[in-house]
Amino acid sequence: MPKAPTTLSDLAGQTVLIVGVGREGTALATRLQSLEPAPRLIAADGREGPATEAFRSAFPSIPLHLIAPEGSLPDQCREASVAVMSPGIAMTSSLHRAVSTLSIPLTSGSALFVADHREQMVGVTGSKGKSTTTTLVHALLQGSGVDVALGGNMGIPLQGLPPAEHYAVELSSFQCHYLEESPAVVGLTALFPEHLDWHGDLDTYYGDKLGIVAHNPTRVIANADDVTLANELTTRHPGLPVTWVGQGHEWHLEPDGDESWLCRGGEKLFHTGNSRMLGRHNHQNMVMALALADATGRLEVSKIEAVFSQFEGLSHRLERIQDPSGVVFVNDSLATNPQAGAAALRSLSSPGMVWIVGGQDRGVDYQPLVDQVLVSKPRHILGLPASGGKLLGLFREALEATGEAGDILLDEVPNMSSAVSRARELAGPDDYVLLSPAAPSFGQYRDYQHRAEDFRSCIESTRPKENP
């Protein structure tokens, strides 16, 4: 098989098969059309939907083929000299298997971008915390006067980013799978089982996720407090230039009552009491971001206070929604795994707290959630389809074993509207109503943003009407 192209310019004049025409495939097609000589472009996807409709509208001259499950590729696709895979196309999918039969090099838009810009990049990945950490790196560099662009797995696709002096990018495990170069500066936030439906098994997932450091990064910043990450990183990639972040290391959090100092060695850089973000996990993201921004050599320490004191966190991550009733609704729709849901519980508490949990059941280990329920003891738990019923059963079993089953209300609800209405009945002023599903949204919503929109809409529609 010919060697996979390394940079975008390697595709000039070739016949390129774009596999997956969502946001990444669309950005790639736009960028490829600017090459000289122009490549011949062909596209393929596995299903009809808004993405395929938008692609046809944007690129009427590019033939788009829909490949049925277990179907074969048409002859036109077989004319391609290289296939560029979008991250939405799972390795375990029938479309991926069909493309693999072509015996042509496979790459991705992300891999091509990283190869073109590695020296300018801070690339962040992890099973949680990567979006917040990446956004904080961008804010710190921007606050330091650096021309820096933000994107990747969040926001703007890599191939759609504008020219910039530096890039702060989030990379998913899907994107890391195809990398042939590593970003100069790499951040690793956490590692636990996720996306096994895409990767096939746990070993492959860990290997793909850590593929981000497999090609000679200059600096690696890693979370020392994550035991799995530390073990997998040192076992799979010994000898890397790793700067560990956590207790006992140069970059760390120093407790100060309920808050912490962000520290570099003995230097206290920022007090978390001045932050607008909730939760110790966000404070850990902040110190990771500091170490990453510092690794670029462009961090202005004098700007840290101004940046962190103004940063409000990401939408859909412990996002407060004030209500005239005094109840504080919290949108944490981006919590799509048990670890993220557990982190949200650790961050919030109120006497009458209501926790709305549940979504697509991917068969993951829910024990982190069970353990956190036994510690946090939210007063009321409402379970949404499809995993809500299963989760309530696990919580009930654990609470009965400790003799605390009567202390927490466990109630299954059919939809978001019922959940919010029930929460209004249960919560009082200053109590939290937390939407932290600990599961993906697929099957009920387009994505986590659509789920958050429904949450907000239900809050609005159930708001008590004021007396005239």
Distance, CA of 278 to chain centre: 18
DSSP 3-state assignment of 409? strand
Spatial distance between the Cα atoms of 439 and 317, rounded to a whole number of angstroms: 14
Q: Is the dihedral of CA 438, 247, 236, 2 positive or negative?
A: positive
Q: Find where tokens 């891999």 sit.
A: 111
In the chain the first and final C-alpha atoms are separated, in Å, by 75
Cis ω for the linkage preceding 37 (within 30 of 0): yes
459: DSSP letter:
H
| Residue pair 124/292 in contact by the 8 Å Cβ criterion | yes
Helices (H) and strands (E) in the chain, counts: 16, 20
Reply yes or no on whether the pLDDT at 104 is more than 50.
yes
Q: Among 191-200, 229-238, 446-455, which stretch is predicted with the lowest mean pLDDT?
A: 191-200
Alpha carbon distance 110, 320 (integer Å): 33
pLDDT tens sequence across 144-163: 999 999 999 888 999 999 99
Helices 23-32 and 50-58 meet at what angle, rounded to 10?
10
- Express each pLDDT in 32-80 by its tens digit: 999 999 999 999 998 888 889 999 999 999 999 999 888 889 999 999 9
Is 55:25 a contact under the CB 8 Å cutoff?
A: yes
What's the alpha-carbon Rg for the chain, to the nearest Å? 23
Is the pLDDT at 195 greater than 70? The verdict is no
Torsion from C-alpha of 132, 135, 140, 145, nearest 10 degrees: 180
Cβ–Cβ under 8 Å, residues 188 and 143: no
Domains of the chain, earliest start first: 11-104 (3.40.50.720), 111-310 (3.40.1190.10), 319-460 (3.90.190.20)
Residue 88 has pLDDT above 70, yes or no: yes
pLDDT on residue 448:
85
Residue percentage of the chain with pLDDT more than 90:
67
